[in-house]
A and B are shown apart, each in its own frame.
Chain A
Amino acid sequence: MTREEIKSLILEIIEDIDEEADFETLQPDKPLRDQLDLDSMDFLDIVMELRKRHQLQIPEEDYPHLASLNSCVNYLEPLLKNA
């Protein structure tokens, strides 16, 4: 997957969690949590969706890598390079 594709994948998953999520003003280097009102339960959803869709196993200690859109892409890029 390209960086752009990974970005869309994350946004698609978030939209699936919260259909009212507003991406208009989303800043890719700022925490998703504050901008989109996500809580730790929602983050687990992102992890579980990645597992379901791409068989990715993300260990708990790596969850901080999912903080912002950019950090998600950086973290997932090597993992999804063949996807």
Chain B
Amino acid sequence: MKVPLLIIGGGLSGIAAAIRFARFAPGALILEKHSRIGGLNSYYFRNNRLYETGLHAITNFAPAGNKKAPLNRLLRQLKLSRDQFVFHQQFQSEILFQGCESLVFSNDFQQLKDEINTKFPHSADGFTQLTAFLSNFDPFQITPFNSTRIFLESLLSDSLLIDMLLCPLMYYGSSIENDMDLSQFAIMFRAIFQEGMFRPGGTIKDFLDVLASHYHSLGGSLRTGAEVRTILHTNLTVHGVTLTTGETIECDYLLSTVGLSETLALLQKPETDYHVPRLSFVESIFQLPENKRSHLPQDRTIIFYNSAPEFHYCSPADLVDYSSGVICFPFNFNGLPQQEYIEVRSTHLANSSGWKALADDREGYVEQKSVTAEKSKQVLEEIIGTFKQDIVFQDTFTPLTIERYTAKKEGAIYGSPLKIKNGNLGYTNLFLAGTDQGFLGIVGSMLSGVSMVNQHILSRL
């Protein structure tokens, strides 16, 4: 069997890339190892109920008329009409540095500006300069690493404000410790503060179903339960792949969305980024009956908190660092229909090697998972009040869970700290898209798939 374009990975970047190709040429094939598509943003069933694996909120909200906004450009490129989706905007979110300061923001950027003017008057001018700088800055220009911290220190006199601005942007889009590349900062600043957050109506399954049926209607093919074991190549040209079943599939072009070192491993090449630490996380879901929602914050969609004297975004010495994290209330979006159950979700930084060491110790692993859920609840309750007594179901994902279901090395959601921004791995017909090309999150990974197909494949057909 030979296809014009083979895509490894049925996550959001792979699906978007495949749709983009299928719009103009026949014969795209996605190979997904798992039984379901979606990758990091998928779903699973427990007790006959659907749970989303990763959806807090989608960034880059834009009103329908704004043609230049990344969200609308993405839909246009995929030829998906906005009418196929219902988008619910966030209420408002908060950056809470306990005992220090709080900043509330929403999809109206003015709110954050006003908050900063009131709470950080010494940095107000600097913040205006920052937004002016960013409006003229091209984050897609490929440049060497440029420290956001050093840049922000030159503009903002309050170091607390610098940490507070970085906290949500790092949690939702940084694969490196304690700093961000200025380009990534600019992308995330726009995505979260200037454009804002929303979620699609229904569940991530509905969203994925729309994508999959659109792809099929364009004639594309998808195989789940198809794990690539090796990429076949001679020198710098790829011929195809072999699956774990032994089957060989040949191709003209290959797009890998499974990560940089993961792809190198499939090529049987040594890793290049083993010495840089990867960031992993633990995520817990706490489910409550809807009639308990009055006990929870009414107008907060997401709270990014820090309770340590200094904010550290790095791999912790312990299994989990509870001193900072993200608390998400997926029911607090505008216009959502009432559900029988609601969720509170938490994210904290985790130590992947610590979790890895528990891989062969079933009992210890299960115990640490439940310790994690308990401690997470405890820190959440200090911030949002008690809710433990109302929980009817809970689950925790560790770096091991994420590695197992998505094959992301060390369960690092944002992948390698090294990004291959042009998607070029030095092969004539193999390119990288998704997380390790450098665009993160749902909109980011989808744009990555689209732009890699545009740049490397469509223009050469």
Contact = CB atoms under 8 A, between A and B. Distances in A.
Interface of A: 17-20, 37, 39, 41-42, 44-45, 48-49, 51-52, 60
B149 interface: no
A60 B76 contact: no
Contacts of A45: 77
B251 to A, nearest CB: 20
Nearest to A58: B459
A20 B76 CA distance: 11
Given A37-B68, A44-B458, A44-B459, A17 B76 contact: yes
Interface string B54-70: 00000000000101100
Given A39-B68, A41-B454, A44-B458, A51 B24 contact: yes
B24 A18 contact: no
Contact of B458 (A18, A20, A48): A48
Candidate in B24, B25, B450 with the most chain A CB atoms within 10 angstroms? B24
B459 A60 contact: yes
Nearest to B451: A41
A44 B454 contact: yes
B199 to A, nearest CB: 25
A8 B154 CA distance: 54
Interface in B1-43: 23-25
B142 interface: no
A62 to B, nearest CB: 12
A17 B68 CA distance: 13
A41 B24 contact: no
B459 A51 contact: no
Interface string B140-161: 0000000000000000000000
Contacts of A20: 65, 67
Contacts of B454: 41, 44
Given A48-B24, A49-B24, 20 more contacts: A17-B76, A18-B76, A19-B81, A20-B67, A37-B67, A37-B68, A39-B73, A41-B73, A41-B76, A41-B450, A41-B451, A41-B454, A42-B76, A44-B454, A44-B458, A45-B77, A48-B23, A51-B24, A51-B461, A52-B24
Contact of A18 (B25, B67, B451): B67
A48 B25 CA distance: 9
